[in-house]
Amino acid sequence: MTSLLPNARHIARREYRQRTRSRTFVIVSAFLAVIGLGIALFPVVGRLIAGDQTTTIAIYSVDAELTSSTALSMAHLLNTGAEAQYKVEAADDAASAATDVRSGKIDGLLRVTRGADGELAFDVLTDAGPNDQRLFAVRQAVVQVNIADRLQRAGVDPAQAGQIFAETAWKVTPLDPNAHRLEENFGANYVLAYALVILTFMAVITYGQWVATSVAEEKSSRVMELLITAATPRQLLAGKVIGNGAAGLTQYAVVVVAALAGLLLQGLVAQYLLGDKAGAPLEDVNLWVFAPFGVFFIGGFALYALLYAGLGSMASRTEDVQQVTGPMIFIGMAGYFAAFTAINIPEAGWVKLVSLIPFFSPYMLPMRMLISTVAPWEWVVGAALMVIFLAGALWLAARVYSAGVLLYGQRASLRSVWRAVRVDR
């Protein structure tokens, strides 16, 4: 390690300052911070823009009594929360109500008919799409209205029908006594798990490319020929990875801090703009996950950055960076898609196995900790493998880098990378 210093430190400082002091870096960082803050405050802003929207539904049947009873039942079933989001009214004329739907005065018309066998049939006239949540809510309410009507025609007392529809007691007793905490905060943890996977993927792909591009830029400008006389290839490699990685993580930290600030301010902003206080999104989240996430995130980022730097040294022009770093992009995408698949089956055997692989553990282990349980030995094995892979990546990238920085005018290929690894230096 001492052989890398102080040259690696000087190179890292140069790379960091060159990146962070540029006008583009400052503008992009500020822009991304505003986006992060805006995304965090989007639920409050969305409510402010939308206002207190009420969905109006007209109920019509040739049987006036059926119209009235259905309207009362639908209003009760649809407005189960503290605020009435649905306005249900009885319609005297179907044609007039249909005209109101087409003109946008009301949101839908529910026509109710009773067949010769006594069964109810429902027909909704609306412009809502099949994925509209309001249409889904109306569909659920209609099912309950129909079941209640069947029970009444079967001779069941309406009071007894209310007991039939009462909430069913439901309890899950997990084998793991610590699993109950996951169920209590599952919604918030599930959202955070998605966010961590996306953040990891964006950092690996975006800032890994930074490292590779930085090497190719200096090769194309022939600056590398001067640097190689003052520092060894391994010192250059370490300095570039540390400097560019630190610059990328600085920009990343700005965005994450802005997003976290927005989440913490949601309640105050909602109270000021809307007169009510929204639930704090972070109060139900297991914040301890950020400790192991930070460790594996830094380790995984260093692993990817080292290999990006080694491959970037094989490119003589910046236009070739995308081509030579293709394998790392595919590996990063593999971890991303594996995590999104595993998020719904975190206890599967293959998920536990894959989450120990260092290229995938920054995605998988924090995600599993949020929505499932991770055994202590898995953390130990995952950390040990990360250290081993980092040492191997440093050795491999250094060999490729020490040959690649001196290769000019040659087309990068897997064969040239293999030759660079095999050459004794």
| pLDDT tens profile 374-411 | 888 999 999 999 999 998 888 888 777 776 665 555 55
CB atoms within 10 A of CB 99: 13
CB 67 within 8 A of CB 120: no
- 191: which residues sit within 8 A by CB, 6+ positions away? 281
Most confident option among 140-149, 151-160, 266-275: 140-149
Return the DSSP state at 51: -
Q: Which segment of 152-161, 230-239, 274-283 scores lowest on mean pLDDT?
A: 274-283
The pTM (predicted TM-score) of the whole model is 0.68
277 located within any domain: yes
Number of domains in the chain: 2
Q: Which segment of 118-132, 151-165, 187-201, 303-317 scores lowest on mean pLDDT?
A: 151-165
The mean pLDDT of 142-162, rounded to a whole number, is: 80
Domain end (from 164, 191, 209): 164
Q: Pull the structure tokens for residue 48.
A: 């402010």
Same domain, 288 and 256: yes
What's the rounded Cα separation, in Å, for the pair 124 and 140? 13
The mean pLDDT of 71-89, rounded to a whole number, is: 79
Same domain, 208 and 262: yes
The mean pLDDT of 59-63, rounded to a whole number, is: 91
Range(s) of the domain holding residue 100? 53-164
Which uninterrupted H or E stretch holds 30?
helix 23-50
Domain end (from 105, 129, 164): 164
The mean pLDDT of 322-334, rounded to a whole number, is: 86
Same domain, 190 and 254: yes
Domain end (from 164, 196, 226): 164
Same domain, 117 and 206: no
Same domain, 20 and 123: no
103 located within any domain: yes
171 located within any domain: no
169 located within any domain: no
150 located within any domain: yes
Could you tell me which of 124, 68, 125, 123 has the C-alpha nearest to residue 91? 68
Same domain, 64 and 190: no
Q: Which residues share a beta bridge with 125?
A: 109
Higher pLDDT among residues 81 and 69, named by residue: 69
Cis status of the peptide bond prior to 376, with omega within 30 of 0 = no
